[in-house]
């Protein structure tokens, strides 16, 4: 077979390059060997993944063919027979299908049509996605009253149209087929009224509420808080405990709300704060937008320092990143505070390395030089002293009232110490004081700290009531289970991070008769039948000024209540700095707990889009892993994908190992939210349960043990999949400190073009100069050129300075384009279907890299290689310059994908789209075909939105206005990194960006003439610090 010949070719290449002898010999290179290879080599190093640096056989195999393992079916004789049988059958069916006619299609008209519905035209409703760190105001697209797409409310001052992966995925969460569908008592279906009666009678029977205990997810709804206060007034002995595993113990849960005005910050320091990468960071949407705004003009750049204990995209975007073990960060902050001149800081003794001292000195100098124009942002998952130190530093630098705006309130109307709360609940349970335990939207059996022994304690409650979206771990043991209404199904209210009140407006009737926490509390009050709608109105009746009905309608229409933002102070509240903990010994293994970047604390385990989304930095999907540095891996004698046993706080879990570039040594990061038993068909059984080693005393990091156990886990990492066999011209000229992709990235192909501000000022045209940065030449193709002079010509500009790799665009693309979820096994063999991926290119060594993020989707080449090889004309050019896929023509030769230099085409190897599940049919975008097996697909610049705009414009006899068409990725981007428009319109935003001298085309030397252009990266490093990261890791780990 031809593949064999290719493999030999690779062998030769490897030999010639002199780098990969060992790997080619068949034995995978260990990281120690990679390190050895890289040691002592100076200069720039760029790489895309550790596999690639190590050049493992797996990686070799992956670059052999674009779709690894595709040919697997042919190698194994039994499987080949099966394959032929299947093919034979499907061919016969295909032949028959060609001769059959369409089945009759019924029409079900309305009895009375709703007045404001025009079938075929979507409606838009303002609502908000309630979240523990503040609601995300949304504008939902509703087709025939089915919510099908969530996007940020473009007029809301907090989000300005941007959103995040969680909000984007809320529609799939709503239509999740595994949601619980019945009120149940001991496993039997019951009616809500039966529960309400039993509940009300019991509570009334106690007289004062003795023995009635509520355990709720953090309450963020002002109405729910009001209802609770009324319940408390009626039953003073009833208790409420709030517990959110990822929120408990954070400064935010202790009502410390600090807003940042980063527009005025020239220097930003992140102390373990994922403020531009994680939607779970309080105020993410505004922070990332303000940060990105300052990256768009190279003459007005801010500078980001990041000190962090686990690699995040915030750190990777930073000009200067310092990795520290989690327990060292408060000590480092104390050291910094002392240097800045904060009085009364008792910094624990700590042996800082020279490099750390240098970093500190440069940081102090830079911060002082920008006093009043800088901001220090502390992380949430850290010791309480860190937030106090950061505030003191900001205060000493005079940032308060300028870039740092302390406010007294958070979005939690009932702030509480959540860890103390759940401890006291467990005590009460153990003492037998709890008669009825009512659990509202929480899953404590799964999430409670392991040292409390919650699963045992809960058995001592006489009756357990569980209100939840799924019959989850808690629902399994509860006596009563009540299906919870999704936020898109019931009325509520919530505040955005800045305090602005939004009404959570339902978009659809509860699919399964779900009830909300409002209903549960209301049962105990005077009007037990009163719905959430009336309850929410009652809350705001005294607040909305003027005519209530008019004001209410305005709030619903706009999506927020004007003037309800929190007041911010110009002075820092006086706060004692708590005792700063002494860093743990370097020999102790530290385990850092973080909420998962995709599924948070496990609440979105069953949302396939989020499960399949590659996690930032590691590109891991479908699992969590013990993330560690390469040096630690070598020291422990492990290899990636090995299974280890992590022990801490009396618990042990088995976890796969994965190297995270830039992780501190002797430290392991584990994400919460995996290892679910009863999450549903998607989430159950994925990953391992990190809650089993997390204690109430140290919820953010702890010390523990690690031990290798036998076996391999089988993790799915999406990176390195889209490699082609195109190494030869590059590997030979590559020297040892650059990997194959690196040569492409910075060398001959200039995929990533970057400069420092100084370099930029010296040569503003750096992105388009030099022999490696070729321009396209019209007329050098054997194919006739298309002319785009008359029509619209669609183009895109992507600003890599703004992109922080938050993944919101990918989830938005899932929702807009009906992209299927393929599952872990298919991801492992490189068959994920995301039309848009975010490529990360690492620079520097394994221990302290910097990364560049590049959103990569179809470039809509004007001279497209894919079109020239399609034998059936299934991928064709349009007069406006799009490359279109005609799905019903595609026969699946995959030639187009082989010929695509950007590797952006996706093939439906199997029937990935779900044609069966009824609830998912409601979710689909009716304007986009649901693709079947054997069909190629790819990004098409959201052509359905283009067509919609064209029809509207043609009808009104006008041209398309700039900004009228917004692609799904552009719409979701909180950093506004993507701009789409007509490049024939000289006044359009996209033309202005594309004409910028920083703008360049990818692989222009191939003469593909891509329609997407990228803005080259300009960094603003501190000259006191070395620009290039140095080799940090000790020689032997």
Partner 1 sequence: MAQIFDRSSNALARMSLVLTGLITIALGVTLDQLQRSPWVTRQGQRPDQPVPFSHKHHVQGLGLQCQYCYTTVEKSSYAGIPPTKTCINCHAQIWTNAQLLEPVRNSWATGQSLVWTKVHDLPDFVYFSHEIHVNKGIGCESCHGRVDEMPLMYEQNTLQMEWCLNCHRNPAKNLRPTSEIYNMAWESPAEDRPVWCTVLEQKADVPTAQSASCTTRDPTAAGPEVAALQLPPVSGSDAAGGNGPEALPPAASYKKFTSQYELGHFLLAQYKIRTPKDLTSCEVCHR
Binding site for partner 1 (CB under 8 A): 99, 101-102, 104-113, 118-121, 790-791, 876, 878-880, 882, 884, 886-888, 927-929, 940, 943-944, 946-947, 951, 954-958
**Pairing relationship of beta strands 501-504 and 492-495 according to DSSP bridges:** antiparallel
Residue 651's contacts (CB-CB under 8 Å, 6 or more residues apart) are 450, 692, 693
At its nearest, how many Å lie between partner 1 and the CB of residue 107? 4
Q: How far apart are CA 785 and CA 782, in angstroms?
A: 9
At its nearest, how many Å lie between partner 1 and the CB of residue 938? 12
Answer whether 3's CB lies under 8 Å from 64's CB.
yes
Task: Between 205 and 784, name the residue whose CB sits nearer to partner 1.
Answer: 784
Task: Between 49 and 940, name the residue whose CB sits nearer to partner 1.
Answer: 940
Q: What angle do CA 665, 670, 676 make, to 5 degrees?
A: 165
Residue with tokens 């759940």: 422
Answer whether 258's CB lies under 8 Å from 499's CB.
no
At its nearest, how many Å lie between partner 1 and the CB of residue 5? 37
Task: Between 473 and 937, name the residue whose CB sits nearer to partner 1.
Answer: 937
At its nearest, how many Å lie between partner 1 and the CB of residue 940? 7
At its nearest, how many Å lie between partner 1 and the CB of residue 784? 14
Q: How far apart are CA 620 and CA 631, in angstroms?
A: 20
Residue with tokens 């976890």: 655
Question: What secondary structure letter does DSSP report for 821?
Answer: P
Q: How many Å separate Cα 36 from the centre of its chain? A: 34
Task: Between 383 and 880, name the residue whose CB sits nearer to partner 1.
Answer: 880
Task: Between 684 and 944, name the residue whose CB sits nearer to partner 1.
Answer: 944
At its nearest, how many Å lie between partner 1 and the CB of residue 1022? 49
At its nearest, how many Å lie between partner 1 and the CB of residue 960? 12
At its nearest, how many Å lie between partner 1 and the CB of residue 445? 43
Task: Between 118 and 562, name the residue whose CB sits nearer to partner 1.
Answer: 118
At its nearest, how many Å lie between partner 1 and the CB of residue 980? 16
Task: Between 878 and 917, name the residue whose CB sits nearer to partner 1.
Answer: 878
Answer whether 615's CB lies under 8 Å from 597's CB.
yes
At its nearest, how many Å lie between partner 1 and the CB of residue 881? 11
At its nearest, how many Å lie between partner 1 and the CB of residue 127? 24
Q: What angle do CA 339, 340, 344 make, to 5 degrees?
A: 80
At its nearest, how many Å lie between partner 1 and the CB of residue 928? 6
Q: How far apart are CA 417 and CA 254, in angstroms?
A: 7
Cα-based distances in Å from 28 to 6, 34, 637, 798: 20, 10, 14, 38
Task: Between 307 and 946, name the residue whose CB sits nearer to partner 1.
Answer: 946
Cα-based distances in Å from 895 to 653, 866, 902: 45, 7, 14
Query: Residue 38 is inside which H or E element, if any?
Result: helix 31-38
At its nearest, how many Å lie between partner 1 and the CB of residue 511? 20
Task: Between 884 and 1028, name the residue whose CB sits nearer to partner 1.
Answer: 884
Compute φ and ψ for 463, nearest 5 degrees.
-130, 130
Q: How far apart are CA 994 and CA 399, in angstroms?
A: 36
At its nearest, how many Å lie between partner 1 and the CB of residue 930? 8
Q: How many Å separate Cα 308 from the centre of its chain? A: 18
Please state the three-class secondary structure of 884-925 as a single string.
EECHHHCCCCCHHHHCCCCCCCEECCCCCCCCCCHHHHHHCC
At its nearest, how many Å lie between partner 1 and the CB of residue 990? 19
Q: How far apart are CA 841 and CA 742, in angstroms?
A: 8
Number of Cβ within a 10 Å radius of residue 568: 19
**Pairing relationship of beta strands 480-483 and 183-185 according to DSSP bridges:** antiparallel
CA torsion, ordered 967, 968, 974, 979, to nearest 10 deg: -10
Task: Between 676 and 924, name the residue whose CB sits nearer to partner 1.
Answer: 924
Q: How far apart are CA 623 and CA 603, in angstroms?
A: 15
> Comparing C-alpha atoms, which of 534, 475, 514, 529 is closest to residue 678?
475
CA torsion, ordered 389, 392, 396, 397, to nearest 10 deg: 70
Task: Between 415 and 934, name the residue whose CB sits nearer to partner 1.
Answer: 934
At its nearest, how many Å lie between partner 1 and the CB of residue 836? 17
Answer whether 813's CB lies under 8 Å from 942's CB.
no
Task: Between 291 and 980, name the residue whose CB sits nearer to partner 1.
Answer: 980
Residue 647's contacts (CB-CB under 8 Å, 6 or more residues apart) are 693, 704, 705, 706, 707
Q: How far apart are CA 934 and CA 96, in angstroms?
A: 17
Burial call 493-508: b when 16+ CB within 10 Å, e when fewer: bbbbbbbbbbbbbbbb
Task: Between 104 and 201, name the residue whose CB sits nearer to partner 1.
Answer: 104
Task: Between 74 and 783, name the residue whose CB sits nearer to partner 1.
Answer: 783
Q: How far apart are CA 936 and CA 67, in angstroms?
A: 13
Task: Between 111 and 351, name the residue whose CB sits nearer to partner 1.
Answer: 111
Q: How far apart are CA 215 and CA 770, in angstroms?
A: 64
Task: Between 70 and 144, name the residue whose CB sits nearer to partner 1.
Answer: 144
Task: Between 791 and 1030, name the residue whose CB sits nearer to partner 1.
Answer: 791
Compute φ and ψ for 386, nearest 5 degrees.
-65, -45
Answer whether 807's CB lies under 8 Å from 838's CB.
yes
Answer whether 699's CB lies under 8 Å from 713's CB.
no
At its nearest, how many Å lie between partner 1 and the CB of residue 875? 9
Task: Between 132 and 946, name the residue whose CB sits nearer to partner 1.
Answer: 946
At its nearest, how many Å lie between partner 1 and the CB of residue 1019? 39
- For residue 143, list its beta bridge partners: 146
């Amino acid at each position: 077979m031809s593949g064999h010949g290719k493999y030999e070719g690779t062998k030769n290449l490897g030999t010639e390059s002199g780098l990969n002898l060992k790997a080619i010999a068949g034995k995978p290179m260990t990281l120690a060997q990679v390190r050895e290879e890289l040691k002592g080599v100076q200069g720039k190093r760029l790489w895309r993944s550790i596999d690639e640096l190590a050049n493992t056989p797996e990686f070799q195999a992956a670059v052999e063919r674009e779709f690894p393992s595709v040919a697997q079916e042919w190698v194994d004789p039994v499987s080949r027979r099966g394959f032929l049988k299947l093919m034979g059958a499907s061919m016969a069916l295909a032949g028959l299908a060609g001769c059959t006619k369409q089945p009759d299609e019924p029409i079900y008209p309305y009895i009375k049509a709703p007045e404001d519905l025009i079938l075929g035209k979507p409606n838009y409703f303002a609502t908000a996605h309630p979240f523990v760190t503040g609601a995300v105001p949304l504008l939902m697209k509703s087709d025939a009253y089915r919510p099908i797409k969530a996007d940020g409310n473009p007029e809301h001052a907090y989000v300005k149209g941007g959103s995040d992966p969680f909000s984007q995925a809320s529609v799939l969460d709503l239509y999740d087929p595994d949601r619980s569908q019945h009120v149940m008592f001991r496993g039997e279906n019951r009616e809500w009224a039966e529960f309400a009666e039993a509940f009300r009678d019991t509570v009334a029977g106690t007289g004062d509420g003795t023995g009635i205990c509520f355990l709720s997810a953090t309450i963020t709804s002002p109405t729910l808080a009001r209802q609770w206060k009324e319940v408390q007034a009626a039953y003073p002995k009833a208790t409420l405990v709030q517990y959110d595993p990822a929120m408990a113990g954070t400064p935010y849960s202790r009502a410390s709300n600090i807003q940042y005005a980063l527009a005025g910050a020239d220097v930003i320091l992140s102390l373990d704060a994922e403020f531009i990468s994680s939607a779970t960071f309080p105020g993410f949407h505004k922070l990332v937008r303000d940060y990105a705004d300052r990256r768009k003009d190279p003459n007005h750049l801010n500078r980001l320092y990041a000190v962090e204990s686990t690699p995040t995209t915030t750190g990777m975007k930073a000009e200067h990143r310092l990795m520290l073990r989690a327990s060292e960060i408060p000590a480092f902050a104390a050291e910094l505070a002392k240097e800045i001149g904060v009085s009364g800081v008792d910094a624990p003794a700590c042996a800082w390395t020279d490099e750390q001292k240098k970093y500190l000195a440069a940081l102090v100098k830079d911060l002082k030089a920008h006093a009043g124009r800088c901001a220090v942002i502390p992380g949430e998952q850290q010791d309480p002293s860190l937030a106090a130190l950061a505030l003191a530093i900001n205060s000493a630098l005079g940032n308060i009232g300028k870039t740092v705006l302390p406010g007294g309130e958070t979005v939690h109307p009932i702030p509480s110490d959540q860890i103390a709360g759940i401890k006291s609940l467990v005590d009460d349970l153990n003492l037998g004081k709890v008669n009825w335990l009512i659990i509202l939207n929480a899953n404590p059996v799964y999430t409670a700290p392991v040292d409390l022994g919650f699963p045992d304690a809960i058995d001592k409650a006489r009756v357990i009531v569980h209100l939840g979206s799924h019959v989850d771990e808690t629902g399994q043991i509860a006596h009563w289970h009540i299906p919870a209404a999704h936020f898109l199904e019931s009325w509520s209210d919530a505040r955005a991070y800045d305090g602005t009140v939004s009404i959570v407006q339902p978009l659809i009737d509860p699919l399964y008769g779900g009830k909300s926490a409002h209903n549960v509390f209301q049962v105990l009050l005077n009007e037990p039948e009163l719905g959430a709608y009336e309850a929410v109105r009652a809350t705001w009746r005294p607040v909305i000024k003027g005519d209530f009905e008019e004001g209410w309608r305005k709030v619903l229409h706009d999506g927020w209540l004007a003037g309800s933002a929190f007041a911010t102070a110009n002075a820092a509240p006086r706060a004692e700095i708590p005792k700063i903990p002494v860093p743990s010994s370097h020999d102790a293994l530290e385990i850092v707990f973080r909420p998962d970047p995709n599924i948070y604390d496990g609440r979105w385990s069953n949302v396939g889009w989020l499960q399949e989304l590659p996690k930032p930095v590691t590109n891991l999907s479908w699992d969590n892993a013990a993330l560690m540095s390469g040096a630690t891996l070598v020291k422990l004698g492990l290899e990636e994908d090995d299974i280890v046993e992590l022990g801490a706080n009396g618990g042990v879990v088995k976890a796969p190992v994965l190297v995270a570039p830039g992780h501190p040594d002797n430290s392991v990061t584990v994400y919460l939210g995996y290892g679910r038993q009863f999450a549903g068909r998607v989430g159950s059984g994925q990953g391992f349960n990190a809650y089993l080693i997390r204690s109430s005393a140290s919820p953010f990091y702890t010390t523990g043990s690690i031990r290798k156990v036998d076996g391999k886990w089988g993790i799915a990492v999406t990176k390195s999949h889209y490699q082609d066999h195109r190494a030869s011209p590059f590997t030979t000229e590559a020297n040892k400190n650059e990997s194959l992709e690196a040569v492409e990235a910075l060398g001959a192909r200039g995929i990533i073009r970057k400069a420092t501000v100084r370099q930029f000022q010296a040569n503003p045209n750096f992105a388009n100069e030099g022999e490696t940065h070729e321009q396209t030449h019209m007329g050098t193709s054997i194919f006739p050129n298309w002319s785009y002079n008359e029509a619209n010509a669609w183009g895109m500009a992507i600003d890599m300075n703004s992109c922080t790799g938050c993944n919101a665009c990918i989830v938005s693309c899932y929702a807009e384009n009906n992209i299927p979820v393929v599952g872990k096994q298919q991801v492992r063999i490189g068959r994920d279907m995301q039309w848009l991926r975010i490529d990360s290119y690492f620079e520097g060594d394994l221990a302290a890299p910097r990364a560049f993020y590049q959103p990569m989707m179809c470039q809509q080449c004007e001279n497209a290689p894919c079109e020239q090889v399609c034998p059936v004309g299934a991928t064709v050019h349009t007069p406006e310059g799009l490359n279109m896929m005609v799905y019903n023509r595609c026969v699946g030769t995959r030639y187009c994908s082989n010929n695509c230099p950007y590797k952006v085409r996706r093939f439906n190897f199997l029937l990935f789209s779900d044609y069966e599940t009824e609830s998912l049919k409601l979710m689909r975008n009716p304007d986009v075909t649901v693709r079947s097996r054997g069909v190629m697909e790819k990004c098409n610049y959201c052509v359905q939105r283009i067509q919609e705009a064209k029809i509207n414009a043609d009808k009104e006899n006008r041209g398309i206005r700039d900004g009228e068409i917004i692609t799904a990725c552009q719409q979701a981007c909180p950093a506004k990194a993507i701009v789409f428009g007509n490049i024939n319109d000289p006044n359009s935003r996209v033309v202005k960006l594309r004409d910028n001298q920083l703008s360049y085309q990818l692989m222009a030397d191939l003469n593909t003439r891509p329609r997407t252009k990228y803005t080259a990266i300009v960094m603003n490093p501190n000259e006191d610090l070395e620009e290039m990261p140095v080799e940090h890791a000790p020689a032997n780990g």
